Amino acid sequence: MRPDVLTEKSYQSHQTAQHAYEPLLANYSTLTSLIEKRCELSKNAPFLIYRDGDTRREWSYGDFYTEVLKYAYFMQEHLGLKSGDRVAVAAHNHDQTVFTAFACWLMGYAYVPLNMTESEERINFVIENSECKALFALKEYTEKLAHVKEMLPRIQHFIQISGVESSGWERFSDKKYKNDYKPFVDVNRETESLVVFTSGTTGKPKGVVLDHGNLLADAHAIAEWFKFDATDKAMTILPIHHVNGLILTLLTVFYSGGSTVLNRKFSASNYFTVLQEERCTFGSVVPTILSFLGETYESFNKPESLKDYFLICGAGPLTVELSQRFMEKFKIKIQHGYGLSETVVYSCYLPKDLSESEYQEMMYEHGFPSIGCAIGCNEMAIHDEEGNALAENERGEIVIRGQNIMQGYFKRPEANAEAFEFGWFRSGDEGFYLTDDRGRQFFFITGRLKELIIRGGVNYAPLEIDEILSGIKGVRIGLAVGFENNFYGEEVGAFIVKEEGASISAEDILSICSENMPRGKCPKVVVFGEEAPVTATGKYQRNKLKYLFIDHKDTQFT
């Protein structure tokens, strides 16, 4: 592990009571060996289908490997990148994006995906903080990034991977690719594979450093949990700059020899049409998607060929009400789960072998839908504030340890010390567990100890929003509050204490926010008050304000 992220406690967090750090719980030692061997074993089988409106492109494993090698050759021979270097990619769901990611993994480069819906300030921070040597971008984003090039001295190469070449960008080309190219690769289990940035409660994004072993352990455990094989085909609609879309429906499917249908973006009206045309066997969604499907699609007659189609759902608060409503309407089973970027993607799921009565109990009869049992590469527990394990049905912090736990946060020693304080990864989420007749621990998430707002599976740090609110003339205190919402899991509200004599209105505040923040991050409701609750040390307790927004639980904000 890298010395700048490794601590003794983070090393302990990679082991469980059943499994030591060695050996790796996967069928491959590195992502390099996985990619090479899988593409050889499944050479003629389909892997990637790209859908964008009327556009459809398909690659077998063999053809996919050829495209990946073209990028690998360009990166190694033309750009001179070496194992351990980091590569930022400004893109959306696109076949070229996937080629770039797998080329990084093949060669031992760390893939750093950028969320291009974020603010320019945040994008710049991620690129610079991650110390990338190359930046690859789809044509759509070269103009947005053009003016920041001088602000990114570490970037040695600016490469465009689609469309007509933009001024100041080098166009990726495979003209010099050699058909007999054999990449020279120097990788091991602890070689960095992925750096994803997640919002922190301080508002400053944190780079989650994941290595080859992390990704392989989680992909293996997920594939084993669902018994994925070559017959499985994923419906991929979530953005692949997030770990859910990237790891679950791309890498895990690749690991098991199946195929994936990569959609340019989610369309509620077209979702079932595509999955039926492609004969998908499962999909991955966040609670928001369930809401949109239920609200915008009135009829779906599932053909016999899709009778076993199921949805894996996580990455946001799922309510009993929403899950029941969706199940009743579509008769599609939801396999609820839970995980974080720091655990690669998922750490637990509902078991697939539950009887109908067991499923109903765990989903609907305990106040919260169960997030399931720990998967094979990690174990979970509930701890109190001192790191002591709590008993069944006692609420505390969800903690996780195992081979899928990140190396650490890049260049954030204080955050690492807190996250691994007791030798487990501290999730910051509150929950409890119940034990069934077979001795299995079923976990439930009840809320967050941290104050992150998770809207539609995207994390927003409230302090970032506070900065805008508090800077508005006439506002004495401005606090962003995440409140429960049946369409996005959570929505963003604003609690405002005015300065004496100020006449600023809710409409004024919402308008100023819309001028300074992306739509998803903007507050949708403003509530005025006289004072904000604080702790004994004077820290604002925004979670105590959630009840003020309860009337907007069923509101779909446009």
Q: Is the per-residue pLDDT at 121 higher than 90?
A: no
Q: How far apart are CA 136 and CA 159, in angstroms?
A: 5
Work out the average pLDDT over 298-322: 82
pLDDT tens per residue, range 494-521? 999 998 899 999 999 999 999 999 999 9
**pLDDT number for residue 537:** 41
Q: How far apart are CA 257 and CA 40, in angstroms?
A: 11
Q: How far apart are CA 487 and CA 214, in angstroms?
A: 32
pLDDT class of 3 with cuts at 50, 70, 90: very low
**pLDDT number for residue 217:** 97
Q: What is the pTM of this model?
A: 0.85
Instruction: Give the chain's domains with CATH numbers.
Output: 453-552 (3.30.300.30)
What is the secondary structure of 9-63 as a DSSP string? Answer: HHHHTT--SS--S-S-SSS-SSHHHHHHHHHHHTTTSEEEEEEETTEEEEEEHHH
- Residue 412 in contact with residue 419, Cβ under 8 Å? no
- Residue 557 in contact with residue 486, Cβ under 8 Å? no
On average, the pLDDT of the chain sits at 91
pLDDT tens per residue, range 26-51? 999 999 999 999 999 999 999 999 99
Work out the average pLDDT over 13-19: 74
Helix, strand, coil percentages for the chain (3-state, nearest 5): 35, 25, 40
pLDDT tens per residue, range 388-440? 999 999 999 999 999 999 999 999 999 999 999 999 999 999 899 999 999 99
Q: How far apart are CA 291 and CA 299, in angstroms?
A: 14
| Helix/strand/coil for 129 | helix
More confident residue, 150 or 167: 167
Q: How far apart are CA 390 and CA 385, in angstroms?
A: 10
Q: Is the per-residue pLDDT at 159 higher than 60?
A: yes
Place of tokens 């995440």: 482
Place of tokens 């049992």: 373
More confident residue, 220 or 321: 220
pLDDT class of 284 with cuts at 50, 70, 90: very high
Work out the average pLDDT over 519-529: 95
Buried b (16+ CB within 10 A) or exposed e, 223-236: bbbbebeeebbbbb
**pLDDT number for residue 535:** 58
Identify the weakest region by mean pLDDT among 73-77, 79-83, 162-166.
Answer: 162-166
Work out the average pLDDT over 290-313: 82
**pLDDT number for residue 147:** 76
pLDDT tens per residue, range 202-221? 567 899 999 999 999 999 99
Q: How far apart are CA 432 and CA 426, in angstroms?
A: 14
Q: Is the per-residue pLDDT at 447 higher than 80?
A: no
